[in-house]
Structure 1
């Protein structure tokens, strides 16, 4: 705090207080939701794995699928404060508040101790809706952003200090355990440090320090798998999601049967089961897209680079705008999706601030390299709000600098700068298919799943119904509604829900089969036949996969006394999958040969079986 006026100290204290209060108010809102202690998707996986590791139960013996940094934070917090999720969320609220102080410090250093720029940047970080939202999620973004900021502060003086270079390297190495995409920036920082001739040891110390946190994780992964895996094995799949001929379709796949099929493609297509080899397989698929369609791939890369700076927060796990509808805090801090607030203003101002800052490269080279490398690397994958969270604080610094530059400029230059901001704001808000993605039904869906796990099936059903109303075309709420109704002994309602799920996604054969079984139990064989025939008629799967439907239809037709229809179904089953049909046909014969006296039918049946 040397050289800091009393007024600036008071202003900074006020900003930090506001940042903490806002984050605590947001957490207080979240506490009333069942998802607070039962988070879905990646949050839930991290929480479950951290608890499992502390329990002493054996794990799956595989390397880390996702970067384990947040897993380590959760495990350490659970060990100290118990298994509840309030403590780790409070810790993230403190980390988000500390980020405001780091932004203030970094802004003062790279902009010649300009107090207004530093305080304004810290205030933006304190009240930025995406950062508040991300701080409530038990995901890597908040921690990665804080570690990156601390490293940037240290790197500003690293050329003159081996200790600072070592500390910055350790921080970036830790950040890589949360999100490995920071490693290209670490390489750039090492090259910048190497240009300082007075202390030749500094870049080497920095590189060694970066590796210190990474090497134990790499050793753990390698010992588990026999493959060289630096941090985690999900990188190849993420690369493929953003680099393939059906990019929009792949990006839109949500957790469920289709996502499971995607993750199992290496096993199904190439008999690859090792995690590292599967990741490499996905990488090769993505690179093959670049080789086969270089212009399309380059255009897609440019699109994702633009989306990194888009005004709308593009969802991945949780939709910020869906949470905004339920949160008073976020409704104040974040505008509706159509407005693009606050990044619709922040990003254009930051880009103007960057453009007017490039002349002083000695002070601002590393922050600029940080933003550029993050955008460039993430564009090789896909755009997402949570992926740009670490960049938002640095963008806030340049946005504050951009406002200061506009305010100081001569009238003619000011008009040109304002015109540039407006032009960039329009460019950053242009319609984009990715920016229209909304997961309107998912929060209710996951609330229903949580309530079912907690033993409240009626409450779960109400959540599933609300989810199906929010997005009638999403098959998942219908599927889960059917399961919940069937568990309560309501097979007809369950079958209705499952048939809606089939209509939404005919490629998933499970709900149609379950609907048929429920209708059989309810005494409605005609309804069961219709459900199975609807599966077959959709034709969304390989013919062999419909052998189950054909055999079930054969049994139902036999029960109805329609031998000809039963034989037609049996012929279809043998044509679709002879081996499976032969094994299941024996069961059918054992169950009905004694009760069905029809020599002609059984002669035809035996001929088919042979």
Structure 2
């Protein structure tokens, strides 16, 4: 499609963008006062704390990155201007959404037709998770923006022989890799469409792209290797994530291991490292622990290959299913806080069948569209390599909207042209995948429950000393899943914290966990409150001193006291004692649970 025709139809983007901005603004106003935005949890909390430290000039770190660094770095730069307010990031991500709509239009118009591109943007603004990720402190919206821009520019400049252009494209890919490394699978496979479209010249373009990637990624690898004292890639999570999604007990989605005290990044990293040290009897670096878990995964897979093949099949099912599998916060938890988020008509149960039918139609010019096929397959491989998650699948949404719109537009053209073979094939794929993507199982119903959102909100409130507010969240989790053992346990601890001993005893009984022995609590609780006040005021040395004094008043402390002390040692730079108290917390958790 020529530039003149694309420019003439681009004006239709204006009302679409206006509608998107109005809906997004209403939703932000609806969510802003709620815990969904006010209380970042798990990865969002880690990003928020990390960005806050960056905004205050604390750029140096003493450990390799556990989470990818680009998003918290950009968030920290934003906080320098706005202060550490999550709502500021949400507004910026809304603006990135405009860029995503523009990129989807440009890609769809150039690869197919402007009518397909306009319809694709309409489908995208009717897709609920598009707004969900916009309202979270997660890197998903940033990644979708970078990847959409990358695909559009790769297509636009596919015939260019300018060295600088392909290096810049690699830089875009490198930025995406520093937000989450999954894009590297696509970049590794990108030689396929380049060779098909450009012949041997595709190798040069592919090499130049990887040069651009290396310019950004290699310094991070060097930095991680130096501070971690072991060869480390952009993060230390690869082996851990492979284990989470592929060990023999895995269900194919993210699950928290029983030896991990908390799903937040610091404690997850420490939990896996400490368990690896326990099993090997050696002191391990973060990179060595990651390598250990990768090795364990390989052993389990080779020991039961049939079971692993069955697991892969289950992951393919989850990848193509309508359910938005959560990692730490979920689309379904957000819908509890937003009536508007419940009103969107497009979900994966509708979008994926349309897109796969569009793939069938696009096969008439398969070589031309190979870039999109490779991109989708690369993210399928990423989910199979690690675990299936809505956040890991989200980067293909723009491409799915384009292919789904291609089906809706071209099916009528095929009827006019009487192309019966293509009509039958595409419609058959549509109805076959419609059944697959919407087939519900007990597991997919559980994934679609907001129980973990309530639980994680409650756990975060407990960590910050708000037991009264946490009780309500744990109660909501138990309404969703009355057999949720850990929610019963945490609710029991909250009841103990406010002096409701009988209620606590009932919760521990329902969890089949012994009632903890109570100690004299008046001085202990006063010290605990004071320590948390010091921490809130960023007087971490005083908080640590007070927390250690509190520990002396608590002969049989729960594991989270050690956990909080470990956190305070970590923030003050004493990683030796942080490690010591992490171990004590781990031991205490095994007893308490």
Given the two structures, how large is their TM-score scaled by the length of structure 1? Answer: 0.76
Equivalent residue, structure 1, for 2:395: 390
| Matching residue within 311, 320, 339 for 1:300 | 311
1:463 to 473, 479, 485: 473
Aligned to 1:344: 349
Paired residues of 1:445 and 1:467 also in contact (CA < 8 A): yes
Q: Would the aligned equivalents of 1:444 and 1:464 in 2 still touch at CA under 8 Å?
A: yes
1:89 corresponds to which residue? 90
Match of 1:248 among 248, 251, 255: 251
Distance 1:249 1:348 in 2: 22
Deviations 1:78-137 (A, max 9, x none): 1222111111111111112211110000011111xx111010111112221111111111
Give the corresponding residue for 1:324: 335
What is the CA deviation profile of residues 114-166 of structure 1, one whole-angstrom value per residue up to 9, with x for unaligned ones? Answer: 11101011111222111111111111211111111111111111441333312
Superposition deviation, residue 479 in structure 1? 3.1
Label 1:180 to 1:251 Cα distance change in 2 as closer, same or farther (>3 A).
Answer: closer
2:426 aligned with 1:417: yes
CA distance in 1, matches of 2:202, 2:348: 40
Cα distance in 1, alignment partners of residues 59 and 70 from structure 2: 20
Q: Could you say which structure has the greater relative contact order, defined with CA pairs below 8 angstroms and 6 or more residues apart?
A: 2
Change (3 A) 1:518 1:474: farther
Aligned to 1:363: 368
Structure 2 counterpart of 1:164: 165
The residue that corresponds to 1:375 in the other structure is 380
1:164/1:158 CA distance change after superposition, 3 Å = farther
Asked whether the 8 Å contact 2:252–2:315 carries over to 1, the reply is no
Contact residue 448 and residue 464 of structure 1 kept, 8 A: yes
Q: 1:300 to 1:441 in 2, by over 3 A?
A: closer
- Going from structure 1 to structure 2, the CA distance change for 1:288 and 1:343 (only over 3 Å counts) comes to same
Instruction: Determine whether 1:217 maps to 2:220.
Output: yes
Q: Is the 8 A contact 2:64 2:235 kept in 1?
A: yes
State the shift of 1:433 in Å.
5.0
Contact residue 445 and residue 463 of structure 1 kept, 8 A: yes
- When Rg is computed on C-alpha atoms for both structures, the one with the higher figure is 1
After superposition, the C-alpha distances for 1:289-333 in whole angstroms (9 at most, x for unaligned) are 222222322232233123212122222222322322432221111
Q: Are 1:237 and 1:263, in contact at CA under 8 Å, matched by a contact in 2? A: no
The Cα of 1:273 is off from its aligned counterpart by 2.7
Output one character per residue of 1:27-84: Cα deviation in whole Å (capped at 9) or x when no partner: 2221121341221111111111222233355976110011222111211111222111
Matched position secondary structure for 2:375: helix
Deviation at 1:285, TM superposition (A): 1.3
Check conservation: 2:492, 2:504, Cα contact below 8 A: yes
Find 2:494's aligned residue among 466, 484, 495.
Answer: 484
**Equivalent in 180, 203, 207 of residue 206 of structure 2:** 203
Give 5+ residue unaligned stretches, structure 2.
523-554, 557-593
In structure 1, runs of 5+ residues without a counterpart are 335-340, 507-511, 522-550, 553-610
Aligned residue among 231, 236, 241 for 2:234: 231
Structure 1 range deviating more: 377-386 or 452-461: 452-461
1:435 to 424, 429, 444: 444
- Structure 1 vs Structure 2 CA RMSD: 2.9
Rounded to whole Å, the distance in 1 between the matches of 2:33 and 2:66 is: 31
User: Helix, strand or coil for the counterpart of 2:444?
Assistant: helix
| Structure-2 change in CA distance of 1:399 and 1:200 (3 Å) | closer
- Which whole-Å CA distance do the structure 2 matches of 1:323 and 1:351 have between them? 28
Q: Displacement of 1:233 after TM fit?
A: 0.8
Give the distance between the partners of 1:472 and 1:433, measured in 2 at CA. Answer: 15
- SS, match of residue 44 in structure 1: helix
CA shift digits 1:471-503 (9 cap, x unpaired): 332234333333333333344433433443x42
Kindly state the Cα deviation for residue 276 of structure 1 after the two structures are TM-superposed.
0.5
What SS is found at the alignment partner of 1:315?
coil
Q: d(CA) in 2 for partners of 1:186 and 1:99? A: 20
Q: 1:309 aligns with which of 320, 327, 339?
A: 320
Change (3 A) 1:395 1:6: closer
User: Counterpart of 2:123?
Assistant: 124
- Name the residue aligned to 2:40: 39
Moved more, 181-190 or 320-329: 320-329
CA distance in 1, matches of 2:275, 2:462: 31
Residue in 1 aligned with 2:81?
80
Give the C-alpha shift of residue 374 in structure 1.
1.1
Structure 2 residue 16 is matched with structure 1 residue 9: no
State the 1:206 CA deviation. Answer: 1.6
- Write the distance in 2 (CA, Å) between the matches of 1:428 and 1:418: 15
Residue 284 of structure 1, CA deviation = 1.0
Contact 2:6–2:109 (Cα < 8 Å) also in 1: no
